[in-house]
Amino acid sequence: MIAAVVTHIKPGTIDRMQIPPSDQRSRPVTSNQTHTHPRLPEVLRRHLENAERKPVARHNREAFSTLLRRLEATPGPLVIDSFCGTGQSTALLANRHPGHLVVGIDRSASRLAKHVGSESGNYLLLQAECEPLWRLLAEAGIGAHYHYLLYPNPWPKAGHLQRRIHGHPGFAWLLQLGGAVELRSNWQIYVEEFGLAMQLAGHPGRVAMVPDPGDTGEDLTLFERKYRYSGHMLWSFKVELGPRTA
């Protein structure tokens, strides 16, 4: 049985991650795709015109119920950290957004079990699939003030377009949540595709390189730290969607 919720497992502080040794550094993304996918406009149009109606799995509904109970107990604006991995980014974002409830979502129990808690009490980690939770939030009329999508699986093969966020049916639910959206990746094409999908959906934004954090050491995720010290160029796309849409 899949656990719906993972909370602070190892109370303490978030330590600065050590520079990985050379034999553990990450290789750049390789793909048989050299430009934005030519089928993206077609796939996106189909998903925007036909909302996904696949039944939501029980464990995703249980995770959503936990989130609703937390929002009822401590009402406040919502920050979503989708594909949060170990939840390091969620804890850092909780410090960055005081007065908000920051919810980190990841499907992997093993990644979430590696979470090192912080003293911030304004975040929650949920084990669930992101896209169904976006749908449940949108259907409940709950929007986001901020939505972070940090280093999701790039699915670099051209044939995997519909597994990427912007090629997935759930992209339509993401748009409905509104808020300030930021996606980061170490694959430039992925970021450009996401930006193109936003533009085609009527929300033009900006692609830029992710700045070096300098002496603060605040890479938002363990992947970001590993990619940076592996010599990768890191890219982001930012857009203001505004209030959630119906």
Cβ atoms of 136 and 56 within 8 Å: the answer is yes
pLDDT for residue 12:
38
Question: 3: pLDDT confidence band, cut at 50, 70 and 90?
Answer: very low
pTM comes to 0.88
Strand, coil or helix: what is 222? helix
pLDDT for residue 229:
86
Domain-located, residue 86: yes
Q: Per the structure, how many domains does the chain have?
A: 1
Looking at residues 106-127, what average pLDDT do you find? 91
Domain-located, residue 19: no
Looking at residues 180-204, what average pLDDT do you find? 97
Helices (DSSP H) in the chain: which residue ranges?
40-49, 58-73, 88-96, 109-112, 130-139, 171-177, 188-200, 222-229
Domain-located, residue 205: yes
Looking at residues 80-108, what average pLDDT do you find? 96
Domain-located, residue 32: no
- Distances, alpha carbon 222 to alpha carbons 9, 26, 126, in Å: 17, 12, 18
CATH of the domain at 234: 3.40.50.150
Question: 15: pLDDT confidence band, cut at 50, 70 and 90?
Answer: very low
Domain that holds residue 155: 53-240
pLDDT of 246 > 70? The answer is no
pLDDT for residue 11:
36
